[in-house]
Every structure is written in structure tokens, then in C-alpha cells.
Chain A
Amino acid sequence: MADVAIKRAVSLPGAAVRERLRTLDDSAVVTAFLGGEERAFQELVERYQTRLLNFVYRTIGDREKAEDLVQEVFIRVHRHLHRFDRSKKFSTWIYTIASNLAKNELRNRSRNPLVLFQTIKKNWQDEERPLQFEDSNSRPDDMYRKRHLRELVEESVERLPEHHKQVFILRELEGKSYEEIAEITACNLGTVKSRLNRARNSFAEIIAPALD
């Protein structure tokens, strides 16, 4: 069934191909790409770019660097897709690549104080920037409160230990199952549950005083 859909997608031109690819699942899109359909890669990028960006951004806390890393993820996917074991889930594979890159980035950052300084400087510039009103109907105090709350949540996530943070984000933001998280982070199921429990407790403890 999927093969028929892929053949149809390949034989159709332009927008019709994109429409057809949109109806396929990840595995079928990967098959189409390996069959020579270049637009299948664009479809994969469209499906995962925002999710990966959020995952990497919440993990490392730097928006620009996160986008660079997501680009790197897709380049590696493009380069090594022929080696992907199609009996497994594509999303798990791509998240594993992103997770490893984010971990490397955090490791490099801990060794290089300059990067830390750049992150602090970026945040300071954000503070200096005037408030941006996304919704003209919102009141300024509401906007300020929301922004303050967002920053509070982001800072609280930042304070979690790295291995807790990844499990926490994969579960709470990306909605991954315990089994998928275990595969992405190369841990066993018990460790994932334990880390998730600790991460939730720590996060609640950190943010609770600010909410009261």
C-alpha cells in the first residue's frame, strides 16, 4: 500500500507530489527519498524542523545555536539516511542525532567560558529590548506578566541537570513514550522513569516559590 503511494508520488510532478508526500508516514517518505525523490527530504524537514528546534532550544537555551544544530541534524540525516534501519522509527533516530548534538554543545560550552559569556550577553540584550506586543488587544501588564512567567519557566528548566532536562523535555514537550526516550538517551526504562520523576520534582520545587 505504501509502495503504491510512493510510486504515485514519484511519478507525479510538483505540488501534486508534495501533497502526496504529506499523506505518507515517515517511513514511506524515507523510502521515497531513497528512491530518488528529493522533495521527500523537504517533507521530512518540514515535519521535524520546529519540533527539533524546540527540543534543542529548551536543552541548550540558545536560540541561534539551536537553529544551527538543527541544520546540522538535517545535514547528517541527508548524508546518512541510506544507513538508517527502516525497521525502527525515523523520529527516534532523528531525535537521537539531535540529542547527541545538544549534549556535545553543552559539553563544549562547559569547557569554553566564552560561549557562556555570549549566552549571558544575548540574554542581557533581550532584557534591554523593548516589549514586543504580539497581540494589540493584550494589555501591557498582561504581556509583561506572561513574558516574566515564560522567562521564569525557561530559567527553571535551565537549572535542571543535563540528563534530567533531556528526559523532561522529551516527555513533557515532545510527548515521547518512555520506550522512545530510553532509546534516544541510551538509558534503560527504569532510569528514564527515575529521571523523569526527579526532574518533575526538581522543576516543581524550583518554580514553586516564584508562583506563590
Chain B
Amino acid sequence: MTPACSSSRAWQPGSCVTCGNPFRDAAHPRILEPRLHGRVRLCGSYVGFFSPMDCRAFRNQHVAYVDDFLPGEAVVAMQRHLLECERCAAHDAKIRRSLLLFRNLPPVETSPDFYSRLSARIESERAAPKQPMFAARGPGIGMFMGVAASVVTVGYLAAASLHWTAPRGDVVLAPVVATEPAVVAPSVENQALVASVSAGMPVWPMVLFAEQAPMRFAQVQFTRASWKR
């Protein structure tokens, strides 16, 4: 949709594009841009810039606006927004004012003997013998690789001389004759001791013996009882 033109007057060169007042009017200081002459018109195909601009869009484009990098239509939209929004107008004035101060800082000059000192340094650099690359730049990757390789080589040689690198053979034992060990019958005292230690009780109740102790031990207990009798 094409917004309606706010003015019915035809645009005249040398006049403000929004209100038609002549340029150099004190009330419209921001529309004095000479580049607008003959390029921007109110009516016809240039009505697109009448779409309202919000403050965020204005701030986003402000760098390019200050540096004069915006196309003509966008410049007019920015100028229109400046007329409508006091806050953005104050922001624009603040930025431009501070930049003006910075750009007008007096330049710093080099000292009179700048070039002679520079020439002397260049001459002394020429006269100095060229040092090898590793000395001039410090240890580089090549040097590091060389040192690492030599350390590995020395380590390998040392290990080889001490037979650290020889493969380990299997442990060989002298052959022995295996014999089946004689089965020793458990003594009654030993078994009783084991049973009492594991249970934490000096005397096992007979019921526990019957349920938990191995059958052989139970048999020994019964045998012992019969002896006492």
C-alpha cells in the first residue's frame, strides 16, 4: 500500500522535502544536506520513505547515517524521524558533537630526528651479522622435534645396553615328582576350636551342630560323647 503524500505541493529544488520550506531555514537544520537536491521528491516513485521509522531502526542505522553511507530514501526517513522524535534528535546531536571534538584533536607530530634515528637503526641492523634462524627466533618446531628424537634415541640405546628391551621368557621350574598328600584325620580339638571361633560362642548348641556343621564333624562329636560316657 502506498502511503498518501503529506503535501499536495510539488517538490521544488532548494526546499525541504517534508514541509516544503526553503533550505537554510533555521527551523530545519538537519535537512540542509546538499545531496538531496534534485534527487529526492515527495511524490511519484519516492513515497516509500514515508513509512514511519521507529527508534530502534533509527539507532541501528545511525552509524551509516553519520558516515553518509545510507541511500537517499533512507536518509530522508532518518531526517523525518529526527524531526518527530526528540530523544533520537538529542542522541544524534550528542554523537555528532562528541565526534566533532574528537576529530578536531590537534595532530601529534614526530620528533625532528625521527628519520635520522630510524636510518641509524636500519643501518645497524644491516651491519649486524645475520644470525641463524633458530637463534633469532628461539627454539622452533624443528628444533623441538630434533631434541625429542635424540632423547628417544639415547633412551632406546640405554635400554638396549641394559637388556631392558629383551623379551621376557616364561619362568621355567625344575621338574618335581608330584605325590598325593596323605589325608590327615581331623582331630576333635581342632574342629571344635574352628566351630567355636566362627560362631563366637565357646560351646555350640547341639541343634546348631546338627543343622550347620558338616556331617563329618557331627560324627566326631557323637563319637566323643560316646567316649566320655
- Asked if B118 and A71 make an inter-chain contact with CB atoms under 8 angstroms apart, the answer reads yes
Residues of B within 8 A of A150 (CB): 105-106
- Residues A53 and B108 in contact, CB atoms below 8 Å apart: yes
**Does A42 lie within 8 Å of B115, measured CB to CB?**
yes
Contact indicator A63/B102 (Cβ below 8 Å):
no
State whether B106 touches A200 (Cβ < 8 A). Answer: no
Residues of A within 8 A of B114 (CB): 45, 49, 67, 70-71
The interface residues of chain A lying within 8 Å CB-to-CB of B102 are 153, 157, 172-173, 203
Query: Interface residues of B toward A: which range?
Result: 20 to 34
- The yes or no answer to A187 lying at the interface (CB within 8 A) is no
A50-B109, A54-B107 known; A172-B99 Cβ under 8 A: yes
> In chain A, residues 160-212, which have Cβ atoms closer than 8 Å to a Cβ of chain B?
171-173, 193, 196-197, 200-201, 203-204, 207-208, 211
Q: Name the distance in Å between B70's Cβ and chain A's nearest Cβ.
A: 13
Residues of the A chain whose Cβ atoms lie less than 8 Å from the Cβ of B105 = 58, 150, 153-154, 173
Expressed in whole angstroms, the minimum distance between the Cβ of B226 and any Cβ of chain A is 96
Q: Does A74 contact B (CB under 8 A)?
A: yes
Residue pairs across A and B with CB atoms within 8 Å: the count is 79
Kindly list chain B residues whose C-beta atoms are within 8 Å of the C-beta of A16: none
User: Contact at A208–B101, with CB atoms within 8 Å?
Assistant: no
User: Least Cβ distance of A57 to chain B in Å?
Assistant: 5
Point out the residues of chain B lying under 8 angstroms from A57, CB to CB.
Answer: 108
In the complex, are the beta carbons of B125 and A67 less than 8 A apart? Answer: no
- Enumerate B94-126 residues with CB–CB distance to A below 8 Å: 94-95, 97-99, 101-103, 105-111, 114-115, 117-118, 121-122, 125
Contact between chains at B98 and A49 (CB < 8 Å)? no
**Interface status of B85 (Cβ within 8 A of chain A):** no
Contact B125 A79 (CB under 8 A): yes
Write out the residue numbers on chain B whose beta carbons fall within 8 Å of the beta carbon of A49. Answer: 110, 114-115
Check B95 against A204 for contact (C-beta < 8 Å).
Answer: yes
Query: Are B117 and A149 closer than 8 Å at their CB atoms?
Result: no
Distance between Cα atoms of A140 and B98 in the complex (Å): 24
Residues of B within 8 A of A204 (CB): 94-95, 97-99
The distance in angstroms between the C-alpha atoms of A42 and B122, with both chains bound, is: 12
- Ordered nearest first, which 5 A-B pairs have the shortest CB separation? A204-B98, A197-B63, A204-B94, A49-B110, A204-B95
Residues of B that sit less than 8 Å from A by CB:
62-64, 66-67, 94-95, 97-99, 101-103, 105-111, 114-115, 117-118, 121-122, 125
Q: Besides the contacts A45-B115, A193-B64, A200-B95, what 5 more A-B pairs have beta carbons closer than 8 Å?
A: A46-B115, A70-B110, A156-B98, A203-B102, A207-B101
